[in-house]
Chains A and B, each alone.
Chain A
């Protein structure tokens, strides 16, 4: 990988905010933040930290990580941010230490005693600024976790750090505004899509498909008792029509009952990136809609963080083992294909195709082979990028950073630098990235690095390969 040139470094780290805003908020970060209470910040940070420790399970991880951390620096090799910047402040272990040292100083007996004896004043405003900057440089991809011989999960610490910061008002504005609309706005979703626009858009896509395939492929809306409640990243309704067409076509072919609910139709959950409280509130909205429509499964579209937040946290917040099962659309499509309910034209795509593993789907080993098997079933020229699967490299826009447009130069020049090389090396015409976040980031990335590769969703391509024959239910 080419090191950052001086010019690139300047662009990646150029100021994005007015000096007055930085002065007023005393926060020299590159993402925009809404105004919040600045006075007495260290005390408020510690109060928020204490409240979180009191009511959650984080203390266990902090105690353990603090005891075992060996500072071996293996994680530095795996961090795409550190590899690009070469700034030792970007080493995952260093980032975690920012918060661990606050914990040690203020929330352990030995730390408090030592602090008193040595006259250490404890948490400073500068440290809070440093954390606010550092925790949003990380894309929360969790690749470093698999490299740590001590088993430390730096992404968990980053998540906690962001949670505490959010409790004192330090949240990237892009995330805060979206969440506000989702939880309290009139439209109830992060992209502020009104129901009327949703219906219009879906109708238009159905007409397109009618023209294309010559059959009626509907988007069922508010179907009581359907098997699946479909929740893509809401931005798909605005920007990823082809992915949605592929999703609908699969259901048309299998004949299973699915529905989009007008009460709530957004899979996005920024809580995963910065707040357990928000995470829970958004999942409760999904639960309410699932109960309203009496569905039996929750189906998340092509989106990494939406899938992970639902799959792994819906049971946590919505009923434990009795909670409705959560399925990712690629899992669903793969199973239907395996069962012979979905037929694909084996040579539908002859151009070179590669697959990008979204971190939130692949890192846990959940959705890894399914998309590959599907792609190989209808692409004649499938190539892997290296490394891949659980060891994939993040697109560079994870952890919510892709939503912050002001970070674009940073994301494309620093965060996605390794990814750009990886995509270029495959020479692929299509890079399949089944995640709304990854798609946006990778499109900006190939544009920045002038790579001739089209970023698409899995169902965009699959749509071209589906065979509708006389055995299609309803024909």
Chain B
């Protein structure tokens, strides 16, 4: 079992971490290129960057926004995120691992606050699951990944806390550590392909929306031409039973 643990926190960790970074980098680059492209296609170049920045910051530090819709769920979610970021990054044991691996690291949290953050994340995570299961609207919207993510994210917290505090036999300790490490690896491997990609994409949302509302001049006409009714009013085009002779449509749909 020790070999599995070493594999999980050695090569597999490095692979998962690299894939996570590359995967997130990919979606960030795609988003930035998309924003730039949309900005270029639009002719007016009037984008309310200040308002976008204000709204983006407002959501990154959502102090005033938490008490809007679903306040309990929102505050819980905020606390969950605090624990979620604080513990994996600043736990003394993790910081030591980083220092060992790359030669440098950052200041660690003292043990007691780290414990509190861990318990906070676990309690808030459990709250989030309840907030999803017992809320009619959220239940109706939820996909499979929405139910899988909170327990998956909590697995390393629970196992980590137990390992640090309970008097376990060596075998149970190793099993716990195994779950701890492999859950973390799995999280990192899947982040870029799931909704957790919002960890890097959310700051772009306001800009994406603002630019997407910038319509492209002449696009309506181009769409009409592509659909084979250029120059005809749409209601004439739609009343035709079949495309008129000479209409050519491009094959766009796979």
Q: Are A and B genuine complex partners?
A: yes
Question: Chain A residues in contact with chain B, CB under 8 A?
Answer: 34-37, 39, 43, 46-52, 54-61, 63-64, 67-78, 82, 88, 91, 93-94, 97, 106, 112, 145-147, 149-153, 156, 166-169, 176, 180, 183-184, 275-281, 312-313, 315-317, 319-321, 323, 365
The answer to whether B226 and A72 touch across the interface, beta carbons within 8 angstroms, is no
Assuming A88-B137, A151-B208, A277-B219, what are 18 further A-B pairs, CB within 8 angstroms?
Answer: A39-B241, A51-B222, A57-B216, A68-B197, A70-B146, A73-B135, A91-B137, A149-B74, A149-B77, A150-B198, A153-B209, A156-B212, A169-B239, A316-B44, A316-B217, A317-B217, A320-B44, A323-B44
Query: What is the bound-complex CA distance between A402 and B37, given in angstroms?
Result: 36
- Least CB distance from A164 to B in Å reads 10
B28-70 CB contact bits vs A (8 Å, 1 = yes)? 0011001101100111111000010001100100100100111
Q: Are B42 and A57 in contact (CB under 8 A)?
A: yes
**Complex Cα gap A314–B138 (Å):** 39
For the complex, give the distance between the alpha carbons of A316 and B218 in Å: 10
Assess the A55–B227 pair: CB atoms within 8 A: no
Between B137, B204, B238, B252, the greatest number of chain A beta carbons within 10 A of the residue's beta carbon is seen for: B137
Contact of A55 among B137, B209, B222, B234 (CB under 8 A): B222
Give 30 CB contacts A-B under 8 Å. Answer: A34-B235, A43-B253, A46-B253, A47-B227, A55-B216, A57-B38, A57-B212, A59-B34, A60-B31, A64-B34, A69-B195, A71-B195, A72-B77, A77-B70, A77-B137, A91-B140, A112-B254, A149-B77, A150-B198, A150-B205, A153-B213, A156-B213, A167-B234, A169-B234, A277-B224, A312-B213, A316-B217, A321-B45, A321-B46, A323-B44
* B238/A156 in contact, CB under 8 A: no
Contact A72 B227, CB 8 Å, known A67-B198, A320-B44 = no
Tell me whether B111 is interfacial, beta carbon within 8 Å: no
**Bound Cα distance from A106 to B197, whole angstroms:** 22
Mark B residues whose CB is within 8 Å of A: 27, 30-31, 34-35, 37-38, 41-46, 51, 55-56, 59, 62, 65, 68-70, 73-74, 77, 135-138, 140-143, 146, 195, 197-198, 201-202, 204-206, 208-209, 211-224, 226-227, 233-235, 238-241, 249-250, 252-254
Chain B residues in 8 Å Cβ range of A112 = 254
A37 to B62: give the CA distance in the assembly, Å. 49
Known A-B contacts A46-B253, A279-B215; A70 and B198 likewise in contact (beta carbons under 8 Å) = yes
Q: How far is the CA of A73 from the CA of B197 in the complex (A)?
A: 19
